Structure 1
């Protein structure tokens, strides 16, 4: 559904309207879920010429086309194409393989998602790609880390678990001056709150398992790229055989339609709970760029239009056994390695063993919280019980 030429649509409206063609869908609001591998050609001439919008199920269907069109509209005018992957990690690995080859060097943010780090150190290393890690707060000083064979820079904004906020604009300016591409894991904010392709990023990646899906029921990834990078991304997707199943594509498209209202709710609750944690006597710090006193707040205000419901809390020194007692006492905060769904989650973490360019040494134990869509009063009551259990177990 096209927007009036004299009135550009707001992102919230784009989420509802993009990728929909009710006339082509026989009047139905949603596109059909096409399950199919084989596409038949009407004539031998069409077959020989590979003529037709759809040629084989792995390469796309009306269902995948609808989601790709909607995501392209959400990413903005700098987006030349969007690829779909069966998980966030598959999207990350496909994007890195698209721009790197044996003998290349890649610079990766030290606070990157841990499975990304494992992929770089293990698989890319075996294939002759060297990885160096950098301080996420390095900014333009990253120039000193470039080698003659540096071909890409991978950032994550904010950083996984520790929520460091890199200056993507400064990093991208240096990288492009050196002839390198910039990749960004944009899962935390999504393109709704951070159009990273407008900030100098060449390839923007989402673990759409999280907020895009929004209901903890799919594994999914997206790869959005500008005109300079899209041909390489599209080629890698084709050669690696990367594709997502039609039911997951449909669920991602359904989640996209409500992304703006869900993220607004996650943001409101996240800010409220972050301030609540800051006032707790058991808490040393809250790591959340949306807080005015966070070290990354100025960059967040400059480059982002909102914040999600994910942040970390540094507790004052306390035995790990007491933290475990607290976690076991919680009823509304589940313990699980994901986020972005409607439910609140918490996990303990310790970055110290997998940081190499920076030192992770917080004052006490650290917890990552995802604030879901429950009543914040109920969440606070649950945490009150948890902190009471923590104090009793000290």
Structure 2
């Protein structure tokens, strides 16, 4: 028996070559979620792209191998470069971001952030990061980038156009996160990106809270949009993955860093992320509505000092949220008027519909007692009470409110 060789297909059939994605730019986002990444080369009449598992790719001849060496991203080349399963997810994510040239996938959201930074920085550079950034982002900057001779400076998330005063000749990157995933400050992204672009400085934004359905960083001037697909895109708390979507100018650097660092994702996980992506719009709509109902109820409770939710008019960044976002998601926090973090156990331990755990964006609700000590470098938080972050899932919001009501009564009974 001879060697098994891959086939060159046509007319939408499975093929070893990567086909240009269909242009869905004129379609509504819900339509793009359904159809993106399902074009020629991904299926042969099958609704979902098959799971292509591969490490070694066999070539028909030495000539075909040499042709592939000249253009390794144009077809199946080696498993680390991806198969149609990963390509379908990359194309689908790219289709959600106006102004995007392509997307790369990573084994976690942290890996996506780290690689996006490494794609741009070099020894001697100065990096600006919002003071509300995700803790692993800070640790990467403070430990890894520092060892590389790169200086990180944190800035007030409310700085807006004032960021110009922090720029140096060696500033290469500004990393944003809007809203912050713990304290939910909204940043003036257009003001910051306009100043950065005029100086040739790269801007990137962790957009996990909003997803491209609620805010589109590239359309607001960013060069790279990052997500932890672990959260809302996956939607079922059963995969770890990140993505970075870049403009045409930045995509070659992002690709190079991804390949040099050896990042890849399992095709099985890519298939799970694709499945989650198809229902993202309906899940996010439900989680947004439920979270707002719960947040408004909490804001009226006498034990609650404040609710940190960008869609509430009481939120400090609400006007910026209304300008730059098309909606909200299911993640927010609240602060209690009295007590200690240790006493939060009375509220959280016996909740019936909220799990205790990290991450967010799954179908199940979560309640996380958060320790804010040491999470800031240049700003202080305007509250001191015990802090709880909620991720609202797909349960009935009335049941969630009843659960929290019982928890607050248990909490207040301690005093």
Sort the TM-score into its range (normalised by shorter chain). Answer: over 0.9
Q: Deviations over 1:76-108 (max 9, x none)?
A: 2x1011000010001010101001111111000
Residue matched to 2:352: 331
Give the counterpart of 1:276 among 293, 297, 300: 297
The reply to whether residue 206 of structure 1 matches residue 224 of structure 2 is no
**Secondary structure of the structure 2 residue equivalent to 1:20:** coil
Q: Deviations over 1:335-364 (max 9, x none)?
A: 101110001101111323120110124141
Structure 1, unpaired ranges of 5+: none
Residue matched to 1:38: 56
CA distance in structure 2 between the partners assigned to 1:248 and 1:149 by the alignment = 39
CA distance in structure 2 between the partners assigned to 1:4 and 1:388 by the alignment = 54
**Gap change, CA 1:150 and 1:22, over 3 Å in 2:** closer
Q: How much has 1:4 moved relative to structure 2?
A: 8.7
Q: Deviations over 1:232-256 (max 9, x none)?
A: 1011011111110111100001000
- Contact (CA 8 Å) 1:34, 1:61: kept in 2 or not? yes
Residue matched to 1:58: 80
- Contact (CA 8 Å) 1:3, 1:9: kept in 2 or not? no
Residues 19-30 of structure 1 correspond to what in structure 2 (within 5 A)?
Answer: 19-21=37-39, 25-30=43-48
Give the counterpart of 1:372 among 393, 396, 402: 393
Q: Deviations over 1:24-66 (max 9, x none)?
A: 6221101010111011111111112226611001001010111
- Contact (CA 8 Å) 2:22, 2:39: kept in 1 or not? no
CA distance in structure 1 between the partners assigned to 2:164 and 2:316 by the alignment = 22
Residues 148-167 of structure 1 correspond to what in structure 2 (within 5 A)?
Answer: 148-167=169-188
TM-score, normalised by the number of residues in structure 1: 0.96
CA distance in structure 1 between the partners assigned to 2:59 and 2:271 by the alignment = 25
Give the counterpart of 2:238 among 192, 214, 217: 217
**Gap change, CA 1:118 and 1:145, over 3 Å in 2:** same
**Gap change, CA 1:195 and 1:24, over 3 Å in 2:** closer
- Contact (CA 8 Å) 1:273, 1:376: kept in 2 or not? yes
The reply to whether residue 295 of structure 1 matches residue 316 of structure 2 is yes
CA distance in structure 2 between the partners assigned to 1:356 and 1:223 by the alignment = 26
What number of residue pairs does the alignment pair up? 392
**Gap change, CA 1:80 and 1:3, over 3 Å in 2:** closer
**Gap change, CA 1:363 and 1:4, over 3 Å in 2:** closer
CA distance in structure 2 between the partners assigned to 1:21 and 1:205 by the alignment = 24
CA distance in structure 2 between the partners assigned to 1:246 and 1:159 by the alignment = 30
- Contact (CA 8 Å) 1:22, 1:29: kept in 2 or not? no
- Contact (CA 8 Å) 1:352, 1:361: kept in 2 or not? no
CA distance in structure 1 between the partners assigned to 2:409 and 2:315 by the alignment = 27
Residues 298-377 of structure 1 correspond to what in structure 2 (within 5 A)?
Answer: 298-377=319-398
- Contact (CA 8 Å) 2:42, 2:85: kept in 1 or not? no
Q: How much has 1:3 moved relative to structure 2?
A: 7.2
TM-score, normalised by the number of residues in structure 2: 0.92
- Contact (CA 8 Å) 1:186, 1:205: kept in 2 or not? yes
- Contact (CA 8 Å) 2:341, 2:387: kept in 1 or not? no
Residues 53-92 of structure 1 correspond to what in structure 2 (within 5 A)?
Answer: 53-76=75-98, 78-92=99-113
RMSD: 1.6
Q: Deviations over 1:285-338 (max 9, x none)?
A: 111111122111111111111100000101101233432211112111111011
- Contact (CA 8 Å) 1:157, 1:166: kept in 2 or not? yes
- Contact (CA 8 Å) 1:22, 1:30: kept in 2 or not? no
